[in-house]
Amino acid sequence: MIRRAWNRTIAVATALLIAALVLLAALAMGSALDDSANAVDHGSVRLTGDDNGDGQIDEDESGWDCRTMGNHVCGPVPAECREAGDELKTCVAVASRPAFGWTTADGDPIDMPDGHTVLRTLGQNQVPGSPRWASLLRNVDAQWRAHH
């Protein structure tokens, strides 16, 4: 009878040990699967348009959109606009415009020179980027918009 109880105890202990080993193996396997599912291989991730594969889309790469990225200027910044500060986008727009004219309600003709000439004149009379220069630049831009 003691022998039978002893055998039964050993059988139960062996079964518990096997169950514990199976449980540990399952937990270890699940943890390994979770780690591999969340792993990111930075060496193989590539952004569309990131031609050199450095993880950033830089100017002159195929993914660069000059209208929405960087300083929002497509092409080189005109010399007259290099000190434009917050008015860079407006300055570049003004610089790109041709000469234009219009007639006032009184019948007086108004002639505006091309954008580069306007900016050079503004730069002679005001410090580029200053509040007064920026105000005059916005006025020139408003005149263009009013007549085009």
- Whether the per-residue pLDDT at 116 is higher than 70: the answer is yes
Position 134 scores a pLDDT of 95
pLDDT tens digits for range 19-71 = 777 877 777 776 655 555 555 555 566 788 888 888 888 888 888 888 888 87
Total residue length of the chain: 148
Q: Where are the domains of the chain?
A: 1-34, 65-148
HEC states along 3-43? HHHHHHHHHHHHHHHHHHHHHHHHHHHHHHHHHHHHCCCCC
Q: Give pLDDT tens digits for 70-96.
A: 877 788 889 999 999 999 999 999 999
* pLDDT tens profile 123-138: 898 999 999 999 999 9
